Structure 1
Amino acid sequence: MKTLICGSMAYDTIMVFEDRFQHHILPEKIHSLSVAFLVPTLRKEFGGTAGNIAYNLNLLGTDPLIMATVGHDFTEYQQRLESLNISTRYIRHLNDNFTAQAFITTDLDDNQITAFHPGAMNFSQLNQVEEAEHVSFGVVSPDGKQGMIEHASSFVKQGIPFLFDPGQGLPMFSGEELLNFIEQASYFAVNDYEAQLLVDKTQLSIEDLAQRVEAAVVTKGAEGSVIYTNNETIHIPAVRAENIVDPTGCGDAYRAGLIYGITHGWSWAKAGRLAALMGSLKIGHRGGQNHHYSLVEITTQFRQHFDLDLYT
């Protein structure tokens, strides 16, 4: 049985600003903001939430399915996925559109300013969850708005538990719409900023929202993460990274570890620790998919950090 990841496939153009945004953005002039950042470092990467999660699940030895809409410029990405033996069966090509594009500027404090062109992602509702075979777990991650709504509903109709991971798509939805997602989902995961936005929109605390799912996860970067489940609060420590290079895709790597733990019936404490390790392994590399670890290496590091075996 497989995990179906509904979400974005994107090309990321990542630029590094060799200073701090705070030195160049004047709070008293925010109403007339006009700034330019010199970015001597630029690179293009394979990205998108669905692509990044699938990449990390593939590192963990699983065979994920991606459901996404892409454009006429997807050929290079398609070839990459095929070289990694990641299925492209449920990726729909729309030749009149570009594949989604993210333009990310990162400063020396790892703050990010992102511009995002959705392109073919706007038509994600053309994909139907019902078409995917042998699916036992689902993910609804940032995608076209209507697609996210329909995919969540379809998972419920199919009796498939799913993780709601709104990410940067969260601002698209009203409080009522977000509550509807949470009522349908088995789990939801957000970072601490998204958690506050979720609270503001729904007028409910994270603890209250967690009562509506089997588990709610809030990641807090270097402070670790918190899992709320069964009236219990589980604190997951962060894994200290050997090198902190680029935060792009760390949340997706974390979610892959979490999904692996859920689908293998692990305790939340163990699943959260694998998630933390995957995020730490990613942050030492540029881009969302440039960290290369064998399953043996991941297993060894998991044992070294937590004195736990990946398979017991």
Structure 2
Amino acid sequence: MSTLAGEGVDVSCVIRDKKAPTAIYFKEFKGYGDPMIYYYRKYSAASKFSEADIQPEWLANARHLHVTGITPALGERTADFIKKVMEQAKANGLTVSFDPNLRRKLWSEERARRVLLSLMPLCDIFLPGLEEAKFLIGEQPVAEYGKQFLQIGPKLVVMKLGQEGSIGFYQNEAVQSPAFRMDKVVDPVGAGDAFAAGLLSVLLDEDQPLDENVLDICLPKALKRANLLGALATQFKGDWEGLPSIREVEQYIEGQDMITR
């Protein structure tokens, strides 16, 4: 909580559970490939979330809700919990983004597919990677993924394409943005979350981020920033600790030298 507060996150609505531990996971680096991840989330405080925990003040002063597919996988009632939060957000006029963030170790593939597909109609912005898209609806051409996901309900589908960058679909439009190339990958964990942060930080500067005319102008910038943050997140160990400020992002994109001392 101290770390979150230090980053400017409002922690006033945090619920403390004296009987349940905070979840933890470990990353094992082998010097090649992705690190192995070991989760210890069973019986954690977060795994006990239910609809009874939802408070109106969570959404009262917000304009956007971002959720991931990890939360519904944590416990017996967390899927119903996150679905209700999304429904209330939509009812309150918030826009909702959803990153499926597939974690096969947390639940069965059958349940994961069923729950993730059930949440898609409740989001405005859907953020799958290629592996997640294939998991949800089978192997398709990228353009077909965009078309089918839009038919389910989101107004904007943004797909992470790895070394090919990303592509956004809305209405009858498709906008692709190339990746930022990095010489090496230190730790890929957290790149998807950084990508989402980059995308949303541009879109939410707009009063009507999902208006077609707004997307015509802003989506190329949003994809470019998302690709950059996703790439930079692979350059340090940890999920978020080395991420840049907005000013540093702008300097990087503009090719300016950063003044460090």
2:232 aligns to what SS in structure 1? helix
Displacement of 1:129 in angstroms is 5.5
Matched, 1:234 2:175: yes
Aligned residue runs from structure 1 range 75-86, under 5 A:
78-86=1-9
Matched, 1:207 2:147: yes
Match of 2:237 in 1: 286
Cα deviation 1:192-250 (Å, max 9, x = unaligned): 1111111149xx94421123211111112222112121122221211123542110101
When normalised by structure 2's length, the TM-score is 0.77
Identity %: 21
Cα deviation 1:252-299 (Å, max 9, x = unaligned): 000001111221236211111111111122111101122053432221
When normalised by structure 1's length, the TM-score is 0.65
Please list every run of 5 or more consecutive structure 2 residues that lacks an aligned counterpart in the other structure: 72-77, 207-214, 257-261
2:87 aligns to what SS in structure 1? helix
1:91 aligns to what SS in structure 2? coil
Residue pair 2:96, 2:123 contacting (<8 A) in 1 also: yes
Residue pair 1:123, 1:147 contacting (<8 A) in 2 also: no
1:216 aligns to what SS in structure 2? strand
Query: Structure 1: how far apart are the matches of 2:98 and 2:111?
Result: 13
Matched, 1:131 2:79: no
Instruction: Please state which structure has a larger fraction of its residues in strand.
Output: 1
Give the counterpart letter for 2:56 in structure 1: E
CA gap 1:177/1:273 in 2 versus in 1, 3 angstroms: same
CA gap 1:172/1:250 in 2 versus in 1, 3 angstroms: farther
Matched, 1:297 2:248: yes
Cα deviation 1:138-183 (Å, max 9, x = unaligned): 1121213232222122212222110011213584746554343221
Query: Structure 2: how far apart are the matches of 1:248 and 1:148?
Result: 23
Match of 1:149 in 2: 83
Match of 2:134 in 1: 196
Q: CA RMSD in A?
A: 2.5
1:92 aligns to what SS in structure 2? coil
Matched, 1:183 2:121: yes
Aligned residue runs from structure 1 range 94-109, under 5 A:
94-109=17-32
Aligned residues: 226
Match of 1:273 in 2: 224
Please list every run of 5 or more consecutive structure 1 residues that lacks an aligned counterpart in the other structure: 1-77, 306-312
Q: Bigger shift: 147-156 or 186-195?
A: 147-156
Given candidates 33, 37, 42, the residue that maps to 1:114 is 37
Aligned residue runs from structure 1 range 17-32, under 5 A:
none
Residue pair 1:110, 1:247 contacting (<8 A) in 2 also: no
1:82 aligns to what SS in structure 2? helix
Displacement of 1:304 in angstroms is 2.5
Residue pair 2:229, 2:243 contacting (<8 A) in 1 also: no
Match of 2:101 in 1: 167
Query: Structure 2: how far apart are the matches of 1:129 and 1:239?
Result: 40
Residue pair 1:122, 1:145 contacting (<8 A) in 2 also: no
Give the counterpart letter for 1:130 in structure 2: P
2:158 aligns to what SS in structure 1? strand
